[in-house]
Amino acid sequence: MAGKSTPMMEQYHALKREAGDCLLFYRMGDFFELFFDDARTAAGVLDIALTTRGEHGGEPVPMCGVPVHSAESYLARLIRAGCRVAIAEQVETPEEAKERARREGSPVSKALVKRDIVRFVTAGTLTEEALLEPRRANVLAAVCDVRGTAGIAAVDISTGRMALEDCAPERLGAAIARLGPSEIVIPEDWPADWGERPPEAIERARGDFASDAGQQRLQEIHGVATLDGFGAFTRAMLAAAGGLVAYLDHAGRGKLPLLLPPVVRAGEAALAMDEATRTSLEIVRSQQGTREGSLIAAIDRCATGAGARQLAEDLSAPLTDAAAIEARLALVGWLHADPLMRAELREVLRALPDIGRALGRIVAGRGSPRDLGQVRDGLAEARRIRDHLQARPDRPALLDTLLPHLGGHGALVDLLQRALVPAPPTERQNGGFIAEGYDAALDELRQTSGNARRAIAAMESRYRDETGIGALKIKHNGVLGYFIEVPSKHADTLMAPDSGFTHRQTMAGAVRFNSLGLHEEAARIAEAGGHALAAEDAHFEELTEAVVERREAVAQTAAALARLDVAAGNAERAAEGDWCRPEILEDRCLEIAGGRHPVVEAALAKAGQRFVANDCRLDDTDRLWLIGGPNMGGKSTFLRQNALIVLLAQAGCFVPAASARIGLVDRLFSRVGASDNLARGRSTFMVEMVETAAILAQASERSFVILDEVGRGTSTYDGLALAWAVVEAVHETLRCRCLFATHYHELSRLAETCDALSLHHVRAREWKGDLVLLHELARGPADRSYGLAVARLAGVPDTVVGRARSVLERLEKGRAETGGLAAGLGDLPLFAAASAVEEERVDSLRESLQTLDVDALSPREALDTLYRLKQEAASTNL
C-alpha cells in the first residue's frame, strides 16, 4: 500500500462499499485482514493488536487480522458484541490469477487474486456449531405491515423451522417477545404509529416485502405450484416471508440455508403473554438477561440441545387446546411411570448428535464430513429408539405419532455407513473420511500413494548405504515438497557432479538436495494423492446431495427426537421434585394444593432450606384474592408461583404442587415488581400504569392476572384511589381470575361490596422484638403491615426505626381524631425517638429476665446467659 491507491486497495474499497456497515473480513493468504475503522473496531472488541500497513491518503492504514483456521471463535465474539461481518474470500488461486493476467495482457507479476463477498455473518444467520448456543434457538424474524395488519415470518436457519403469523399492531410487541429473535428485518418505512423500531431491527427496501413475490419465492424454494398444502397464509404473512427470504438471499449471496415448509402459527393457539409478563415471570431468561435464575434453568432436564430448544419454545408459547395439552401430559406421565425405561431412553438421547443443526449446515453448503457422520449416527439411533419403544404396551397417542418419524431412513443410513469412516473429520480438504472398501478406485489410489511412501522410505535407506551418510534423511514440507537433507559437513559428497544429486537449498547447519528417483516418486505420490482427494470430494458432494434430498424427513426425525427428549426431561424433573400431573379443565377454576415456586424452591434447596407450600383456589364465586401482609413475607412469590404453574401446565409439563386443577387460560398477565425504563422516558410509576392499562384493556374472563402493589409509586391518596378502582374493574368488568397483593389495608372494605372477592394474608408475627416471616397464606385481612419490623430486619438503625414508630403513632392518632393523615406532625419532637428506643431496650431486657428459668440452666449456660445479660444492660446504659 503506497501513498497512492494500489490495485489491492481499490479492490478492498469496492468490497467495503458493498459490505456497508458490516466489518469486512478481507482474505489475504492464511489471514482475514481488517483495515481502517473496521480494524479499530475489531481490535477493541477482540483485544488484538492494532498495527498499520502502508499508507492511504498520506496516513498510515490501521490493520488487524485473525487466522482463517480459527476465524469462527473471533466471529463469535464480534457477533456477541453486536457487530455484523462480511466475508470476502479469494475466489481464484494465484495461478488462476496469473493465467487471467496473461489472457488480459497484464503483467503477470502484478496479477491480483480476485476476491468477492461470499457471505454476510449476522446474529440471525448463524449456522456454525461454534457460533451457536446448543440449548438456545437462534431466530431470525421479518415484520411488515399490510393494510393495518402486522405480518411476521420467523425461522431458525440452523434447523430450518419456519413459521408465519399475523396480528394486530398493538399485539406485535408480545409476538416479538415470544419469539425472542436475534435480528428483525423490517421495511425502511416502518409505520410511525407502530411505535419505536425494535432494537434488533435491520432495514430493507420496501420492495422486498411484496406478498406476491413472497408467495412465488416460497413456491420456488419448495418446488410446489401452490402453498395451499402448507396452510392458509394471509397477504401480511406472505409479505413478511418475502422480506425474510430476500434478506437470506442477500446474506448468503444467493445460497439459501435450510428452509422447511412454513407453518401457520395461529395467535389463539398459544397462551398470550405480553413482554412485561414474560420479563416478570423470567421464563427463558432472568431479569438480568441470563439463563441462570430463569424458569427454564430450574426445570430443564433435557438430554440434548435440541430438546432444550424445544422446551424453551413450549414455555414461550404454552397451548390453549386442552386435547393437545393432554397429549403432551400423557407422554410425560407414561415416561414418569417407568423410571427404568426413562433412564435407558435418556442415556441413548444423551449420546445423540444434534442432527437438526448438522442438517442445517449441510443444506446451507457449510457442512463437513463430521456433519454427515452426525446425520448417519443420529438417524441410526433414532431407528433403534423406535424399535425399542414400539415393543412397549399401552403407548400414549402422541408417542404413536412420533414413532413413524424415527425411522424410514434405511437406505440413507446404509449409504452413509458404507461410505464414511466411523469418526469423520471436521475438514474435507485433507480427505480421509471415505471408508475403505466403498470405492475400489479410491482404494487403489490410496494404495499407490502408500506404496510410494514406502518406496521413499526404502530409497532413504538405499541412499544412506550408497553415500555412507547415516544422517541422510528424506523430508517433506509445503514449499519444497520432498527433498534430501544431510548435515553441512557431508554436503561435499552429494555436491560431486557425478553423484546423481542436485543441490536445492543451503541451510545454517544442513544442505538440501533432489534426485531423479525422488522426483519421480514424489510426482507419483502427488498425482495419486491429488486424484484421491478429488475422488473423496466428489463422494462428499454425492453424500451431501443424498442428505439434502431427504432434508424434510430428516428434519422431522430431529423434531420427533426433540419432542421425546422434552417429555423424558419433564418426567425426570417431575420425579426428582415430586411434581404432579395437572388436570386440565374447560371451566374457570384454579385449584392448586401445595403449590411451590420452582425457581425459588430450587434456590432454597441449594442452601439447605425448605420451601413453604401454599394452596390457591379460584372459581366463579371466589375469583379475586386480595392478599396483604409484610414485605418479604412471600406475597410476590405466591403470585408468581401460581402464574408459573398455569404456564407449565399449559405447556404440557407436570407442576410443582400436590395437586392441580386448572381451567384453561387464554391470556396471562403479571404486574409484579418495580422497574423503570429511562431510555423511553418512563418512570417506575409510569411503567406500572402502562402495564396495568394493558391488563385492563386486554384481559378477558378466561385470563389469569397477578397484580402486586398497584398504586405504590405515587402519593398515598392517589395510589389508594387507583388501587381501589383497579380492583373494582377487575371484579366487575374483567371478571377474570386474579391475585392482587397490596399494603393498602383500606382495600379490605371492598369485600363488603364485591361478592367474588376474598381477603387473604401472608402470616407473620413478632417474637421478642424480631419479625418472624412464616411464608404461609391464611384467610382474612392482615392485622397490620409490619413495615417497621421489616425495616429493622433489613438493618435500618434502631434510632431511625424508633423515630418512624413515633411518626406512625402520631399519624394514626391524627387520622383517628381529625381524619387528616398528617395531622399533628408539626409538633412532633425531633429527638423523641431516642427515649422510645431506650424504653424498648429496657422492656426487652426485662422480658428476658422474667422468662429466664434459672433452675433449668447448666453451669455453662448460666455463665453464658450472665455475659449476654450484662452486654444487653450495657447497651441500654443501665
29 annotated among ligand-binding-site residues: no
Same domain, 611 and 682: yes
The C-alpha cell at 290 is 441470563
569 annotated among ligand-binding-site residues: no
Flag whether 466 is in a domain.
yes
Same domain, 673 and 728: yes
In total, the chain counts a number of residues equal to 878
pLDDT tens sequence across 229-278: 999 999 999 999 999 999 999 999 888 999 999 999 877 789 999 988 99
Distance CA 512, CA 495 (A): 10
- Burial class of residue 798, CB neighbours in 10 A (0-12, 13-18, 19+): middle
Q: What is the pLDDT of residue 831?
A: 45
Same domain, 587 and 653: yes
Helices marked H in 252-321 — which ranges? 275-281, 295-299, 305-316
Flag whether 281 is in a domain.
no
636 annotated among ligand-binding-site residues: yes
Lowest mean pLDDT among 228-232, 319-323, 647-651, 870-874: 870-874
Distance CA 342, CA 386 (A): 14
Q: What is the pLDDT of residue 682?
A: 59
How many other C-beta atoms lie within 10 A of the C-beta of residue 666? 17
**CA–CA distance from 264 to each of 15, 229, 555, 752 (Å)?**
39, 11, 18, 48
Distance CA 31, CA 293 (A): 41
670 annotated among ligand-binding-site residues: no
3 annotated among ligand-binding-site residues: no
Among the three residues 749, 769, 792, which one is the final residue of a domain in this structure? 792
Same domain, 102 and 151: no
CATH number for the domain spanning 192: value is: 3.30.420.110
Q: 814: domain range? A: 797-875
472-495 mean pLDDT: 89
Q: How does DSSP classify residue 197?
A: P
The yes-or-no verdict on residue 712 having pLDDT over 80 is no
Same domain, 209 and 157: yes
pLDDT tens sequence across 571-591: 999 999 999 999 999 999 999
pLDDT band at 183 (very low <50, low <70, confident <90, very high): very high
Q: What is the pLDDT of residue 693?
A: 87
Strand order in the sheet with 481-487: 473-477, 481-487, 510-515, 501-506
The yes-or-no verdict on residue 308 having pLDDT over 80 is yes
Q: In the chain, how many domains are there?
A: 6
CA dihedral 168, 169, 170, 171 (to 10 degrees): 60
703-716 mean pLDDT: 83
CATH number for the domain spanning 477: value is: 1.10.1420.10
In the chain, % of residues over pLDDT 90: 60
Longest dimension (CA), the chain: 126
Distance CA 840, CA 769 (A): 9
Same domain, 727 and 765: yes
Question: By three-state DSSP, how is residue 286 classified?
Answer: coil
634 annotated among ligand-binding-site residues: yes
Flag whether 286 is in a domain.
no
Flag whether 288 is in a domain.
no
Q: At what angle do helices 305-316 and 355-363 cross, to 10 degrees?
A: 90
CATH number for the domain spanning 712: value is: 3.40.50.300
830-854 mean pLDDT: 61
672-691 mean pLDDT: 67
Q: Determine if residue 215 is left, alpha or beta; phi over 0 gives left, psi from -120 to 50 gives alpha, anything else beta.
A: alpha
From 463, 437, 450, 440, select the one nearest 524 (Cα to Cα): 450
Same domain, 564 and 612: no
Cβ atoms of residues 114 and 90 within 8 Å: yes
pLDDT tens sequence across 419-433: 999 999 998 888 899
pLDDT tens sequence across 694-704: 899 999 999 99
683 annotated among ligand-binding-site residues: no
Same domain, 337 and 466: no
Maximum average pLDDT range among 98-107, 347-356, 632-641, 711-720: 347-356
Q: What angle do CA 605, 606, 609 make, to 5 degrees?
A: 45
The yes-or-no verdict on residue 480 having pLDDT over 90 is no
Same domain, 668 and 680: yes
Mean pLDDT of all residues belonging to the chain: 88
The yes-or-no verdict on residue 1 having pLDDT over 80 is no
pLDDT tens sequence across 782-820: 766 666 666 676 677 877 777 777 777 776 676 555 555
Flag whether 584 is in a domain.
yes
Cβ atoms of residues 683 and 677 within 8 Å: no
* H-run or E-run covering 772: strand 770-779
Same domain, 24 and 146: no
668-696 mean pLDDT: 74
The yes-or-no verdict on residue 774 having pLDDT over 90 is no
630 annotated among ligand-binding-site residues: yes
154-176 mean pLDDT: 92
From 163, 189, 157, 192, select the one nearest 175 (Cα to Cα): 163
- For residue 798, the number of C-alpha atoms closer than 13 Å in the C-beta half-sphere is 12
From 282, 280, 267, 162, select the one nearest 222 (Cα to Cα): 162
pLDDT band at 773 (very low <50, low <70, confident <90, very high): low
Flag whether 128 is in a domain.
no
How many other C-beta atoms lie within 10 A of the C-beta of residue 871? 9
pTM summary value: 0.84
Same domain, 680 and 804: no
